[in-house]
Amino acid sequence: MPLYHQLGEIPPKRHTIFRKPNGELYYEQLFGTIGFDGMSTNMYHEHRPTQVKKILGQYSVAPKIAKANNIQSYRLKGFQVKPEEDFLKSRKAVLTNSDCTIVLSAPLKSTNEYFYKNTDSDELIFIHRGTGTLRTMLGNLTFKYGDYLLIPRGVIYKIDFDTEDNRLFIVESRRPIYTPKRYRNWFGQLLEHSPFCERDIRRPSHLETYDEKGDFLIKVRKQDEIFDMVYATHPFDVVGYDGYNYPYAFSIHDFEPITGRVHQPPPVHQTFETDAFVICSFVPRLYDYHPDAIPAPYNHSNIDSDEVLYYVDGDFMSRNDIEAGHISLHPAGIPHGPHPGAAERSIGKKSTEELAVMVDTFKPLMLTEEAMEIADEQYYQSWLDPEI
C-alpha cells in the first residue's frame, strides 16, 4: 500500500547520527523490496539486527503435491481441517503454484515460544473466526472477524489470539501484494471510484520496544524450509521507523461494492493484486436493477486463470449445498457458472448477504495431499441436470 507511515522516534535525516540518551548510536536498517526500487522502511534499533548466535536446524514445509496437473472442479470443506495448538503446524497448504500458496489454518494457541519471519512470501491472512493482536517489529494491529492482515515478507511477528476458536484463510504470495493500480492516481492516492480509501487502512500502532539480550528463537522460512535461528537480542527493539513497507489491516466489511443495471464482472470486486494473481471481496450488496436482469453470474470460461472462492458467510446465491469454510476450485480451460436452478432463483431478488474471498491465479494450481483429505470428489458433477 503506497501510504507513508511514521511510528516512534526517528532522526531528521536518513543515514545520519541518531543517538540514545546515553550517547550510543541507534542502529539503522533499511527494510526494502525489489532491490532498492520498491517500497521500503527505515528502522532504528536498540541493537544491531544482525547478531545470530545459533542455527539449530531446519525442516521442510513444502506443500506435498497430490495432483500436479488438474482440470477437475473441486469443493474443499475447509472447516474439516483439524485445529492444532501450534500456529505454524496448524497451517495446511491446500492449493499451490510457483506464485502463491493457499493455506487453511485453525490455530488454538498464540505464538508464545518463538517469533516468525517469512522471507519467501508476503502473507495475506483473512480472519474468518477469532480476535486478537498481530504483534510485529513495526508495531501492533488488533484484528477481528473479516479483517485482512497484510504482512510483507521479512516482517518478524507473533500472533496473540484471544480464544481457541480461530479460523484463518491465508494467501502466501511470492510476489509483492498491492492495492489495484486502477484504483490509484499517479501520486498513489486512491481515487474516487475505488471501493475503499486510505481511511479504511489500519496502520500499526503501539510500537513494542525491548532493550534485551538473551536467546530469542526466530523461525525463518526460506525456500520452503523453516530454519530455527537464535538471535542475541530481542527482535522487537525498534524505537522508530518511517516509510511505506509495513503490515496493515483492512476489513472486508469496509469494502464498498460496485453495482450496475446488469451483472458486473468479477474485477469490480478486486481488492488486492500482484502481477501473477488477484484477490477479490464479495460482500453484501444490491443486485442488478435492470428490470430484466438475471442477478446470478453468467456461465463463463476461465481460459487464462484458475478461480478459487472461499465462502465466508451469508447466502451463496449461485451455488447449491455450499457452507461457510468451503472452497471451490474452478480450473482454467473449462466453463463454470451457477448451479442448476440458481439463475432462475435469482430473478427478482433485490440483494445478497454473501461474503466470500476470491483468488484468481494466472498459473494452474496444484492440489496438495492436505486438500485431498477434505475434497469432494463429485463436485465437478454438480452442474448435471437431474434427469441426466
CA of 93: how far to CAs of 63, 82, 142, 365, in Å? 6, 13, 25, 12
- Our answer to whether residue 45 is catalytic in this structure is no
CA of 371: how far to CAs of 77, 118, 166, in Å? 9, 22, 19
Tell me: is residue 336 an annotated ligand-binding position.
yes
Tell me: is residue 306 an annotated ligand-binding position.
yes
Tell me: is residue 193 an annotated ligand-binding position.
no
Task: Point out the catalytic residue in the list 193, 263, 269, 290.
Answer: 263
Question: Which of these, 129, 181, 175, 135, lies nearest to 158 by C-alpha position?
Answer: 135
- Sole residue written with cell 482440470: 71
**Catalytic center residues:** 263
As annotated, the binding site includes 300, 306, 336
As annotated, the binding site for homogentisate includes 336
As annotated, the binding site for Fe cation includes 300, 306, 336
